[in-house]
């Protein structure tokens, strides 16, 4: 059989000050046709996993496009239409000659006027291939899943863990299921439950706490012979859309009542644990004082309000101000997005003493520019190879970057990684590539909400989420939602806790 595969991926933050354009896809990842297969090789990506599964099962792949951009604000309608038309034009050329479609999406793409852009994309794919061709949508770890998306897809396949360590396994599983559907061996019956709970990203870790319990229940139910696949998504709470929040999707082999029953069981499991899905980050001064007093190092402080991986601008200065003002020693912070400061530091050269205004270029929500004095210690390599365990071997492109060794009060010292491009610092390799040994520092500040826990688990003595200002704070009362369905926890009271 022949299966078409492609991806249009963007996690949209309705409140982000960072616009998203086609240029962001071009700069991050845009691959067409056979180059998509060539780029996969042994990569740990969803599409690479699908390609390997097809080869193992003896099927052919029809590559479409793979377009990915960093999380940011809504995509322009015309840009979305261009991406959709490019993908669907390739499908129309193959109409009647393909047996199924696998499409990798985040579950969170929003355009300026379309809150369900991925459902619109799947509808266009359906028009391109016809009603009889099965479509499998693979969604990311923070998908907001709408009824229309589920209606447009034959199956929805999600990650097995959050943070997602093995997206290739998701792709392999999705392609295998697509082949079973295309051959007629299984007849999916799908049930959706939209759970009235907003879950902070940092509470969606399936390795600990309430989500670990839900993940274990999910695995137990998936082992039952009539269940094809399940998705329990914590959702992406920074999307102002009616379908934002947790969701459950269950597919069985021709048993709609069973799918509905399993979905209801998992929905109840999330609702019953909603009070255990709240997070309470430490305030900036307390977190820094505790880290300075800690006996074991390094202590990782997570800048939860300005996570570039969730749409933050990456230039928030709350924790930088705290480190400098409180006189933290042996500290490093990254990655602070500030092209102007990078320009000035590179012009001065390595070893030069400089006085720079750093950060808060986008707005004042994420703090104020900080006047910093220090020495230009390092000019970065630009592209960095990730060491994992997330996205091992993939490249991170910071653009031009520098390390500024800044002097704080009370003889404090802070190494600041400044870069042209927004990057979620979730991998110690980013520090190492800038000449900073993370294990030798007393304090490491990272702009990340969740993924840092996996990347820094082997390096840190302790990890602390910190309440910083910005568009990725876990306090949802901060956001002026207009389209979010209500009631929804924790903003509204639901039934008494189970």
Nearest alpha-carbon partner for 489 in 238, 197, 181, 144: 197
Q: Are 267 and 411 in contact (CB under 8 A)?
A: no
Element (H, E) at 444: strand 443-446
Strands 60-68 and 299-303: unpaired
Q: What's the rounded Cα separation, in Å, for the pair 241 and 74? A: 12
Q: How many CB atoms lie within 10 A of CB 410?
A: 10
CA atoms within 13 A on the CB side of 41: 4
Strands 413-419 and 443-446: unpaired
Q: What is the DSSP letter of 283?
A: P
Q: How many CB atoms lie within 10 A of CB 388?
A: 16
Residues constituting the chain: 498
Q: What is the DSSP letter of 75?
A: B
258, exposed or middle or buried, with CB in 10 Å at 0-12, 13-18, 19+?
A: middle
> Which ranges constitute the DSSP H helices of 107-231?
117-129, 147-152, 167-183, 209-222
Give bridge partners of residue 6 from the DSSP assignment. Answer: 103
Q: What's the rounded Cα separation, in Å, for the pair 151 and 155? A: 9
Q: Are 192 and 247 in contact (CB under 8 A)?
A: yes
pLDDT tens-digit profile, the chain (498 residues): 999 999 999 999 999 999 999 999 999 999 999 999 988 777 889 999 999 999 999 999 999 999 999 999 999 999 999 999 999 999 999 999 999 999 999 999 999 999 999 999 999 999 999 999 999 999 999 999 999 999 999 999 999 999 999 999 999 999 999 999 999 999 999 999 999 999 999 999 999 999 999 999 999 999 998 999 999 999 999 999 999 999 999 999 999 999 999 999 999 999 999 999 999 999 999 999 999 999 999 999 999 999 999 999 999 999 999 999 999 999 999 999 999 999 999 999 999 999 999 999 999 999 999 999 999 999 998 889 888 788 877 888 999 999 999 999 999 999 999 999 999 999 999 999 999 999 999 999 999 999 999 999 999 999 999 999 999 999 999 999 999 999 999 999 985 544
SS3 135: strand
SS3 255: coil
Strands 155-157 and 135-138: parallel
Q: What's the rounded Cα separation, in Å, for the pair 409 and 331? A: 13
SS3 374: strand
> What crossing angle do the helices spanning 256-272 and 209-222 adopt, rounded to 10°?
170
Q: What is the DSSP letter of 479?
A: S
């Amino acid at each position: 059989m022949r299966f078409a595969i492609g991806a249009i991926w963007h996690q949209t933050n309705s409140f982000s000050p960072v616009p998203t354009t086609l240029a962001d896809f071009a700069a991050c990842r845009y691959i067409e046709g056979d180059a998509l297969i060539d780029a996969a090789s042994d990569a740990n990506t969803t599409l690479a996993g699908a390609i390997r599964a097809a080869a193992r099962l003896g099927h052919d792949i029809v590559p479409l496009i793979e377009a990915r951009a960093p999380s940011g604000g809504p995509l322009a309608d015309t840009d979305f239409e261009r991406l959709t038309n490019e993908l669907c034009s390739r499908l129309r050329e193959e109409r009647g000659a393909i047996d199924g479609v696998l499409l990798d999406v985040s579950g969170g793409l929003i355009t300026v006027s379309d809150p369900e852009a991925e459902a619109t994309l799947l509808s266009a794919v359906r028009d391109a291939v016809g009603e009889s061709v099965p479509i499998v949508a693979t969604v990311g770890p923070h998908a907001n899943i709408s009824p229309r998306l589920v209606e447009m897809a034959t199956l929805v396949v999600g990650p097995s863990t959050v943070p997602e360590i093995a997206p290739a396994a998701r792709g392999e599983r999705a392609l295998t299921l697509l082949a079973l559907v295309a051959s007629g061996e299984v007849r999916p019956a799908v049930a959706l439950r939209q759970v009235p709970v907003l879950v902070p990203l940092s509470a969606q870790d399936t390795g600990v706490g309430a989500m670990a319990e839900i993940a274990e229940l999910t695995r137990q139910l998936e082992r039952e012979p009539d269940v094809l696949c399940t998705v329990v998504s914590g959702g992406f709470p920074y999307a102002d859309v009616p379908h934002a929040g947790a969701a459950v999707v269950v597919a069985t082999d021709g048993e709609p009542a069973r799918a509905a029953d399993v979905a209801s069981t998992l929905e109840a499991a999330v609702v019953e644990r909603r009070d255990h899905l709240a997070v309470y980050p430490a305030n900036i001064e307390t977190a820094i004082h505790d880290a300075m007093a800690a006996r074991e190092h390094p202590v990782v402080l997570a800048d939860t309000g300005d996570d570039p991986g969730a749409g933050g601008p990456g230039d928030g200065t709350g924790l930088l101000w705290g480190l400098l003002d409180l006189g933290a020693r042996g500290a490093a912070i990254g990655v602070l997005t500030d092209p102007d400061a990078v320009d000035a530091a590179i012009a001065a050269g390595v070893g030069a003493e400089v006085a720079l205004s750093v950060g808060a270029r986008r707005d004042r929500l994420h703090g104020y520019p900080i006047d910093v004095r220090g020495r230009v210690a390092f000019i970065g390599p630009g592209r960095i190879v990730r060491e994992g365990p997330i996205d091992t071997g993939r490249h991170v492109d910071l653009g031009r970057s520098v390390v500024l060794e800044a002097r704080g009060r009370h003889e404090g010292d802070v190494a600041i990684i400044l870069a042209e491009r927004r990057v979620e610092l979730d991998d110690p390799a980013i520090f190492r590539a800038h000449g900073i040994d993370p294990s030798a520092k007393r304090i490491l500040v990272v702009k990340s909400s969740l993924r840092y826990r996996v990347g820094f688990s082997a390096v840190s003595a302790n990890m602390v989420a910190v309440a910083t200002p910005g568009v990725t704070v876990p306090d949802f009362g901060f956001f002026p939602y207009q389209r979010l369905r209500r009631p929804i926890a924790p903003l509204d009271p639901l039934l008494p806790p189970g």
